[in-house]
Every structure is written in structure tokens, then in C-alpha cells.
Amino acid sequence: MSVQDGGQVPELRCRTCSVAETEELARLLAESLVPGCVISLDGDLGAGKTAFTRGLASGLACRGSVASPTFTLLMEHPPTPGGLALYHFDVYRLEGELAAESFLDLGFAEYFDSGGVCVIEWGQLIESVLPAKTIRVTLSCGDNDQQRDVSVRWPGGESHVAGLAARVLAWQSRQI
């Protein structure tokens, strides 16, 4: 695990070794999220974007199961009392260069100010319409089928990235 800043966007990099660990990392990230946070989730097919979203939903105390909204584009996960709503987008099927325009035309940007947390699978496809403070999570396959290399970049979130790093270290030390 490493944390980088150096005057740039604070970034946490770590490796998870199972789907459960990927979900736990997301659950730990959820502890720092507040209403209005937007997360762009990127990575190849099968990289773990939906597993990461399951962890976010768990950490935000959302009701219901999490599946990728590939065909519906949006799945709303209402909170339990004391939790935060999660708005789960999958923009993979939006049309290439027109993806950002389609996202706006569908009224989805209104969810950014809805009082919940938005997570957008394939967020790089609509980069031009994402808020400046969007948290960018990138997942890539590691050395085997279970490993994932995860990068969390949070503009202006120095204290949040430091807190996440501390929670990840504490969690990892309990795993040994």
C-alpha cells in the first residue's frame, strides 16, 4: 500500500487478494463519504467494479442487493435509517463520444445533488460532465484471478485519503 501526494491529487494505492477484500476496501472508503460525493469507477470488464460497489453499499448501510445496472443504466439503493442512499450508474452502454451528452439528456447529473452518493461504473466515458471533486477509483487485475490493484484518487481529499490509509493498515494488521 502507498499514499502519494506531493502537491498533486492525493492517491491511495493498494492490492486486494479476493472479492471480499475488494468489498472491504470499498466499505472502508464509504466511512469517509458524505452526501454529494461522486465516485468514478474504472477498470476492464471483470476488474471488480460491481464488487467494489457492493462494498460501498454495505458501508453506506444501503438496503437490497447490488448488481451492475448495465441495461437499466441506474440502480437506486435506498439507505437504512442512519445510512446514505447510493445511486449506482453503469454508463458502458451509452454511445461513445455522445456518452456525456446522453448522461445529461437522461437527467442523471441531477443525482449529483440528491443527498446521496453516486458511483459511476465506466466513469471515464462521461469525464467531461463529472464534478471537479469526483473521487476516481481504478481497478486492474493483479498477478492472479483474485488480485486487484486499486487506486483511489480524491481531489482535495488529503485528510480522507490519509484516514482511509490508516483504516486499511488497521484492517490489514487484523488479517495477519
Mean pLDDT (the chain) is 91
Number of domains in the chain: 1
- What's the rounded Cα separation, in Å, for the pair 79 and 7? 36
69 falls within a domain: yes
Residue 134 structural domain: 14-144
For 99-144, the pLDDT digits (tens) are 999 999 999 999 999 999 999 999 999 999 999 999 999 999 988 8
**The CATH number of the domain where 122 resides is what?**
3.40.50.300
Question: Does the structure show a pLDDT above 80 at 3?
Answer: no
138 falls within a domain: yes
- Kindly state the average pLDDT of the residues 36-43: 97
37 falls within a domain: yes
Q: What pTM value is reported for the model? A: 0.91
Tell me the sheet residues that pair with 138: 42, 151
> How much is the pLDDT for 2?
66
Q: Which residues contact 71 (CB under 8 A, 6 or more apart)?
A: 93
39 falls within a domain: yes
Q: Kindly state the percentage of the chain with pLDDT values over 90.
A: 73
23 falls within a domain: yes
Q: First-to-last CA distance in the chain?
A: 15
Question: Does the structure show a pLDDT above 60 at 17?
Answer: yes
> How much is the pLDDT for 6?
52
95 falls within a domain: yes
For 58-74, the pLDDT digits (tens) are 999 999 899 988 889 99
Question: Does the structure show a pLDDT above 80 at 40?
Answer: yes
